């Protein structure tokens, strides 16, 4: 006897009340013929495998579909590849539906929405001044029906948008809509269809405030490309980044500003900084390379005496483990009693920095907050910090320094100037 969780597909040899995988109660259902079904290929004959020389395989000559938004194309690696399945994630209200409507306005689009009605989608499209002739809509959400209709429609449309994948269900699965079993089945069917028809499909997936993508996270390895929109609803800037891309690099970012008439592209590398470069204690400006372009971000650190046994470490926008590591480097090299201080770190604009080139800037902001002294005016920090406290040059450092001079930064701290954090602390 075998038991399968109807929510997440977890399998167990005995019945359990609470699924150890997804934590739902009473979801394990008996599957008596499970063992039989899984050994269905037992009778298959053993034969020689087929081997083909790759030089004889015709490469696909079909070119990428350009979206017409340069920043979006850049993140995709030059446009949408035929048969590509893209997952676009982001918090509710961040601008996913807006971005896809704008990005694909030059293509013939089928927009399937379980989130909004036809009127709502039309209203948004009109507000964005999008030509409605290219845009078809459906609110039918059963994946088997969708695929059957797409088989007939596939020559009339160029891309399918599904908003959101969490609202689509398969008739073959018992679990609840948006449950993990449903999500996996739906996505597998979509991917199979896209590959065999060469029709690109974009899936929108919500993630919640904590960045916990319980649903979409499990789908990441099925799809070709995973994009995320980052940013805060209170600020107008949005950052588009690929965390996985089978047809391009994952280094490139696209920057947009949410305006009255939708998202517009931003080219200025200083967008995430406030206009005046005045520095208060705890604030540092870092230069990092995102893709092949230099960008400048503001890191804020707040260091306050703690009343707790285990001081608090709250990090937003930087990698938590990297911050822990750098705190250890500072304790060891600079003798700061950080175990008696809470440390809060934030990158302004709701964006996250993936580059290690921000290490030195974080350390600068921490020392600045700890000593309660502002860093030098017009200063910029570029550099990676190693476990031994050494300062290393970061990716595309030359280019960042060149650009920062052009933008008016006067004092640039990098591995060119200083080699370790001890000397660095004396200089700032
Ligand atoms: P939306 O694309 O609906 O977000 P998502 O699909 O990620 O949930 O965008 C929601 C926000 O964007 C909403 O708060 C209003 C704002 N917005 C603008 O500021 N300008 C516009 O032209 C549009 C269409 C939306
Ligand atoms: Mg939406």
Lowest pLDDT segment from 41-45, 90-94, 219-223, 271-275: 271-275
> Residue 37's pLDDT is what?
47
List, for residues 327-345, the tens digit of each pLDDT value. 999 999 999 999 999 999 9
Query: In the predicted model, is pLDDT for residue 276 greater than 70?
Result: no
Q: Residue 278 falls within a domain, yes or no?
A: no
Residues bordering ligand 2, an ion, CB closer than 5 Å: 97
For the record, the structure tokens of 296 come out as 């400048």
Average pLDDT over residues 285-296: 89
Q: Domain check: are 127 and 183 in the same one?
A: yes
Cα–ligand 2 centroid distance for 204 (angstroms):
8
Using the Cα atoms of residue 288, residue 290, residue 295 and residue 298 in order, give the sign of their dihedral. Answer: negative
Query: In the predicted model, is pLDDT for residue 38 greater than 70?
Result: no
Q: Domain check: are 180 and 320 in the same one?
A: no
Domains contained in the chain, number: 3
Average pLDDT over residues 50-64: 77
Q: What percent of the chain has pLDDT over 70?
A: 93
Q: How many residues does the chain have?
A: 428
Nearest to 90 by CA among 98, 79, 82: 98
In whole angstroms, what is the distance from residue 82 CA to residue 220 CA? 19
Q: Residue 74 falls within a domain, yes or no?
A: yes
Lowest pLDDT segment from 25-34, 228-237, 373-382: 25-34
List, for residues 112-171, the tens digit of each pLDDT value. 999 999 999 999 999 999 999 999 999 999 999 999 999 999 899 999 999 989 999 999
Average pLDDT over residues 349-357: 90
Q: Domain of 30?
A: 3-39
**pTM of the model as a whole:** 0.80
Average pLDDT over residues 400-414: 91
Average pLDDT over residues 241-268: 89
Cα–ligand 1 centroid distance for 94 (angstroms):
6
For the record, the structure tokens of 322 come out as 């990297």
SS3 content of the chain, % helix, strand, coil (to 5): 30, 25, 45
Kindly report the CATH number assigned to the domain that includes residue 288: 3.30.230.10
> Residue 39's pLDDT is what?
47
Q: Residue 48 falls within a domain, yes or no?
A: no
CB of 123 within 6 A of ligand 1: the answer is no
Q: Are 245 and 86 in contact (CB under 8 A)?
A: no
For the record, the structure tokens of 97 come out as 């539906």
Query: In the predicted model, is pLDDT for residue 66 greater than 80?
Result: yes
Quote the crossing angle between the two packed helices 118-127 and 96-103, to the nearest 10°. 70
Kindly report the CATH number assigned to the domain that includes residue 167: 3.40.50.300
> Residue 274's pLDDT is what?
67
Q: Domain check: are 359 and 228 in the same one?
A: no
Instruction: Report the atom number in ligand 1 closest to the C-alpha of 101.
Output: 2
Of the segments 165-174, 317-326, 408-417, which one has the largest average pLDDT value?
A: 317-326
Query: In the predicted model, is pLDDT for residue 211 greater than 90?
Result: no
Instruction: Report the atom number in ligand 1 closest to the C-alpha of 91.
Output: 7
List, for residues 180-210, the tens digit of each pLDDT value. 888 899 999 999 999 999 999 999 998 865 5
Q: Domain check: are 79 and 208 in the same one?
A: yes
Q: Domain check: are 119 and 232 in the same one?
A: yes
Average pLDDT over residues 24-51: 73
Average pLDDT over residues 252-264: 90
What DSSP string describes 13-61? SS--SB-TTT--BS-EEE-TTHHHHHTTTTTPPP-PPP---GGGSPPP-
- Mean of per-residue pLDDT scores for the chain: 89
Cα–ligand 2 centroid distance for 186 (angstroms):
19
């Amino acid at each position: 006897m075998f038991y399968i969780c109807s929510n997440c597909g977890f399998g167990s040899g005995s019945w359990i009340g609470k699924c150890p995988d997804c934590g739902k109660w009473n979801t394990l259902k008996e599957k008596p013929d499970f063992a039989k079904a899984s050994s269905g290929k037992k009778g298959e004959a053993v034969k020689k495998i087929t081997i083909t020389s790759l030089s004889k395989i015709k490469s696909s000559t079909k070119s990428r579909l350009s979206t017409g938004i340069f920043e979006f194309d850049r993140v995709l690696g030059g446009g949408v590849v035929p048969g590509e399945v893209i997952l676009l994630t982001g918090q509710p209200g961040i601008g996913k539906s807006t971005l896809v409507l704008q990005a694909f306005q030059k293509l013939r689009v089928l927009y399937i929405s379980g989130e909004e009605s036809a009127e709502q989608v039309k209203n948004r499209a009109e507000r964005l001044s999008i030509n409605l002739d290219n845009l078809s809509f459906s609110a039918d959400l059963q994946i088997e029906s969708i695929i059957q209709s797409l088989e007939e429609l596939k020559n009339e449309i160029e891309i399918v948008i599904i908003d959101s994948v969490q609202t689509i269900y398969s008739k073959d699965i018992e679990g609840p809509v948006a449950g993990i079993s449903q999500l996996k089945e739906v996505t597998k069917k979509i991917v199979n269809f896209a590959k065999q028809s060469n029709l690109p499909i974009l899936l929108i997936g919500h993630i919640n405030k904590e960045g916990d993508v319980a649903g979409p996270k499990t789908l990441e390895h099925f799809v070709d490309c995973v994009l995320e929109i980052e940013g805060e609803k209170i600020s107008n800037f949005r950052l588009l980044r690929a965390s996985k891309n089978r047809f391009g690099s994952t280094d490139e970012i696209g920057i947009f500003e949410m305006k009255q008439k939708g998202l517009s592209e931003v080219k200025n590398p200083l967008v995430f900084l406030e206009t005046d470069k005045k520095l208060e204690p705890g604030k540092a400006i870092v230069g990092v390379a995102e893709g092949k372009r230099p960008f400048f971000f503001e890191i804020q650190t707040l260091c306050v005496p703690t009343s707790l046994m285990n001081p608090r470490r709250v990090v937003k926008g930087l990698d938590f483990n990297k911050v822990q590591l750098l705190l250890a480097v500072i304790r060891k090299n600079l003798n700061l009693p950080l175990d008696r201080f809470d440390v809060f770190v934030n990158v302004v604009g709701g964006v996250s920095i993936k580059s290690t080139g921000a290490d030195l800037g974080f350390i600068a902001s921490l020392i600045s907050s700890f000593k309660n002294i502002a860093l030098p005016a017009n200063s910029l920090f570029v550099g990676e910090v190693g476990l031994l406290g050494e300062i290393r040059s970061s990716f595309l450092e030359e280019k960042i320094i060149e650009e920062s001079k052009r933008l008016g930064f006067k004092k640039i701290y990098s591995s060119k100037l200083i080699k370790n954090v001890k000397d660095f602390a004396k200089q700032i």
